[in-house]
Amino acid sequence: MLQFNHFNFNVLDLDRSLAFYRQALELEAVEEKTAADGSFKLVYLGDGETGFRLELTWLRDRTEPYDLGEGEFHLAFLTDRFDELLARHRAMGCVCFENPDMGIYFIEDPDGYWIEIVPERA
């Protein structure tokens, strides 16, 4: 059997990213790993509902923004609180694209990764 385990985003400022994911998506750290020499740190975030985790990787010596290619990939979240979250994300200033025809929108994290917010449909 195969199961999804986690997805990774590399981040420049771990504290800023942790604060963003906590405020925007209510994700909390569920596991952390730090290199003995301090050269990297991995923080796994969970939603408290599923076993899927978002891994944030911080590299001590990295100073340049990551090349996200053409930005054609994203992570998606399903919610039954769509309107509430849209209002929160608008207030945070992180909504980067809205598609009313499809009933979805995207937010952008501090490193430029896009996250799709999808309403739960009956």
Give the model's pLDDT for residue 122.
Answer: 60
Give the model's pLDDT for residue 73.
Answer: 87
Residues 6 or more apart from 103 whose CB is under 8 A from it? 119
- Write the pLDDT tens digit of every residue in 61-101: 999 999 998 878 899 999 999 999 999 999 999 999 999 99
- Write the pLDDT tens digit of every residue in 20-38: 999 999 999 999 999 999 9
Residue 41: which of 64, 4, 20, 13 has the closest Cα? 13
Instruction: Output the six-digit token pair for 22.
Output: 């906590």
DSSP symbols for 89-103: HHHHT-EEEEETTTT
Domain coordinates of the chain in residue numbers?
6-60+74-119
Question: Is 6-60+74-119 CATH 3.10.180.10?
Answer: yes
Dist CA 24 CA 44 (whole Å): 16
Instruction: Output the six-digit token pair for 28.
Output: 């909390």
